Amino acid sequence: MYLRWAERHRYHTEIVDRQEGEQAGIKSATVTVDGRAAYGWLRAERGVHRLVRISPFDSQKRRQTTFALVEVLPEVDDDVEIELDWDEIRVDTFRSQGAGGQHVNKTDSAVRLTHLPTNIVAQSQNERSQTQNREMAIKVLKARLLERALEEKEAEIRKLKGEHVEAGWGNQIRSYVLHPYQMVKDLRTGHETGNTTAVLDGDLDTFMQAELERLATDRPPAGDHEAA
């Protein structure tokens, strides 16, 4: 969905890391999006997304609910100082998985960095060499550490303003219902549409615009009033 959205805006994308699910689908993926105001738009998508549909992997065709967490991280500029203490970082190398050339599954070119104090993990396996994967993993780790610092600052501001701060990585922000009816509804703004096909094909601008306008006017979330 997000790759199609980026394509609509002529943004350049690169899949940095992709982990296949144990049985089917994708367990996790890291994608870079390069384009004017890309972070400004995509920051409206941070949170938990809920999908309700007939699972294509279930032989009994039962209705199932799946959750996905979307994280949006700003790329750290060279002039922003994010110091890494390598005494607090565990470096693991492993063999890349999936398509990527003759080096795949032959050399330990993939790199995983774990920031021990926060347990934040960043990894890269799609570059051609271990050095390139290490550089990309460092960039992702710096971005996640910067995002964590920004979130802590925002949480402190909300506390000072007397607003409730939810612990953990957040509640769901949007529901995508494909069965028994078709509806995509944003639970923060109340914006919704029945054209689920278009949304899953990357038509997200109206949802992003509604959330950014809500943030600009400092309105509280609309809340979840649906029964699905």
Domains along the chain with CATH numbers: 2-72+171-217 (3.30.70.1660), 86-160 (3.30.160.20)
- The per-residue pLDDT of the chain, averaged, comes to 84
pLDDT of residue 176: 96
In this prediction, residues 63-87 reach a mean pLDDT of: 81
In this prediction, residues 113-119 reach a mean pLDDT of: 93
Residues β-bridged to residue 54: 63
Model confidence at 100, pLDDT cuts 50, 70, 90, reads: very low
- Asked whether the whole model's pTM tops 0.75, one would answer no
Report which residue type is found at 201.
Answer: D
The rounded distance, in Å, linking the Cα atoms of 97 and 19 is 8
Residue 157 pLDDT > 70: no
pLDDT in tens, 182-209: 999 999 999 999 999 999 999 999 999 9
Q: Between 42 and 222, where is the model more confident?
A: 42
Q: Where are the alpha helices (DSSP H) in the chain?
A: 2-8, 38-42, 130-160, 196-200, 205-217
**Other C-beta atoms within 10 Å of 135: how many?**
14
